[in-house]
């Protein structure tokens, strides 16, 4: 009888996860991450006395990845295979690799050049490649890809975004993911030593939906590869920085970074609008989502 009840409970849990995989993933990603990040923020603010949050906190970037793996495993082998396939999907057009690895650095250069005539260039701090030295630049990039990139993008783009795109259009899915992504970072604003410490939570809530749309655009052009998203995330943290960062100390620099990212989004929205009006122009690296063609989730096949 106990075994039967256990089997029934397991089937019920799996059915619930299959019905609401995105919701389960988000709740689990927050629970796994904030279980350490919130106590660490409380320690930083002098509201809690403990050593373990400070020890674990710096290595606790894998909450979304762990949540994705757990949710996929419970949902079934098909979901787990799909997640793994996205993480090793490296066969994309070769030019996407320099775009995702060097694009954020090029963005910083453009913003810096724009800031010079108006006298704001001194308000933009130098990115990591310039502060760590070029000899350390590649190892730092690799480290950021394996930590922030892999830890986050396995969940955000490897698991959550494909499921959102089954039911939502690109704009809505990207904005919603961006807001979730921003809220997930909130404890870092009150954590001493964190990049976002001292910054404005409202700025990141305005910024990450724009960044999310940029990543979605690249995601769709690279066969929905989570690997490319991992590299892009690492490169963004390596050579650029958030407008919400405590390193951006003036409203002028914050405004410049926000406006520039939303201008990029405006171009992407025009691209999406053009594709909606002229679907025949979709290229070989821009496959329509299988969910849009068959109304059936590709990661639920073969369970």
- Residues 196 and 227: their CA atoms lie apart, in Å, by 25
pLDDT tens-digit series, residues 33-75: 999 999 999 999 999 999 999 999 878 899 999 999 999 999 9
Q: How many residues does the chain have?
A: 303
Round to whole Å and give the CA distance between 91 and 93: 7
Task: Please give the Cα distance from 28 to 67 (Å, whole number).
Answer: 5
What is the model's pLDDT at position 303?
A: 41
Sign of CA dihedral 52, 55, 61, 62: negative
77 with 303: CB under 8 angstroms?
yes
pTM of the model: 0.87
* Range with the poorest average pLDDT among 45-49, 228-232, 274-278: 274-278
Total domains in the chain come to 1
Confidence of residue 115 (pLDDT cuts 50, 70, 90): confident
For residues 70 and 28, the answer to whether their CB atoms sit within 8 Å is: yes
More confident of the two residues 219 and 11: 219
Domain range enclosing 81:
2-300
Q: pLDDT tens across 242-258, in order?
A: 766 655 557 888 888 89
The confidence score (pLDDT) of residue 171 equals 96
CA nearest to 178, candidates 164, 167, 189: 164
Summarised one tens digit per residue, pLDDT across range 168-218 is 999 999 999 999 999 999 999 999 988 888 888 999 999 999 999 999 999
Q: From CA 145, how far away is CA 279, in angstroms rounded?
A: 34
Per-residue b/e over 249-282, b at no fewer than 16 CB within 10 Å? Answer: eeeebbebbbebbeebbeebeeebeebeeeeeee
pLDDT over 70 for what percent of the chain? Answer: 80
Dump the DSSP string for the chain: -HHHHHHHHHHHHHHHHHHSHHHHHHHHHHHHHHHHHHHHHHHHTTS---SHHHHHHTT---HHHHHHHHHHHHH-HHHHHHHHHHHT---S-TTHHHHHHHHHHHHHHHHHHHHTTTT-GGGSPPPHHHHH-HHHHHHHHHHHIIIIIHHHHHHIIIIIHHHHHHHS-HHHHHHHHHHHHHHHTGGGGGSTTSTTTTS-HHHHHHHHHHHHHHHHHHHHHTTT-HHHHHHHHHHHHHH---TTSTT--SHHHHHHHHHHHHHHHHHHHHHHHHHHH-GGG--TT-PPPHHHHHSS-GGGTT-
């Amino acid at each position: 009888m106990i075994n039967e009840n256990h089997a029934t409970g397991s089937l019920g849990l799996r059915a619930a996860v299959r019905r609401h995989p995105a919701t389960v993933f988000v709740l689990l990603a927050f629970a796994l991450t904030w279980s350490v990040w919130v106590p660490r923020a409380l320690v930083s603010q002098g509201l809690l006395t403990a050593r373990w949050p400070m020890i674990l906190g710096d290595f606790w970037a894998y909450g979304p990845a762990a949540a994705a793996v757990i949710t996929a495993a419970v949902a079934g082998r098909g979901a787990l295979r799909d997640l793994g396939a996205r993480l090793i999907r490296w066969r994309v057009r070769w030019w996407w690799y320099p775009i995702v690895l060097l694009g954020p650095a090029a963005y910083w250069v453009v913003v810096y050049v724009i800031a010079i005539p108006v006298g704001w260039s001194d308000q933009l701090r130098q990115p990591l490649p310039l502060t760590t030295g070029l000899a350390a630049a590649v190892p730092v990039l690799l480290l950021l890809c394996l930590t922030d990139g892999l830890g986050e993008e396995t969940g955000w783009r490897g698991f959550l975004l494909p499921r959102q795109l089954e039911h939502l259009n690109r704009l809505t899915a990207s904005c919603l993911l961006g807001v979730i992504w921003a809220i997930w970072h909130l404890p870092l604003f009150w954590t001493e030593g964190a990049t976002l410490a001292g910054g404005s939570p409202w700025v990141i809530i305005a910024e990450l939906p724009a960044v999310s749309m940029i990543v979605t655009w690249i995601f769709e052009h690279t066969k929905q590869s989570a690997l490319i998203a991992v590299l892009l995330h690492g490169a963004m943290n390596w050579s650029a920085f958030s407008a919400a960062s405590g390193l951006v100390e003036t409203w002028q620099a914050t405004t410049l970074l926000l406006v520039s990212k939303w201008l990029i989004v405006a171009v992407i929205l025009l691209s999406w609008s053009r594709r909606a009006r002229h679907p025949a122009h979709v290229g070989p690296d821009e496959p329509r989502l299988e969910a849009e063609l068959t109304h059936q989730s590709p990661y639920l096949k073969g369970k």
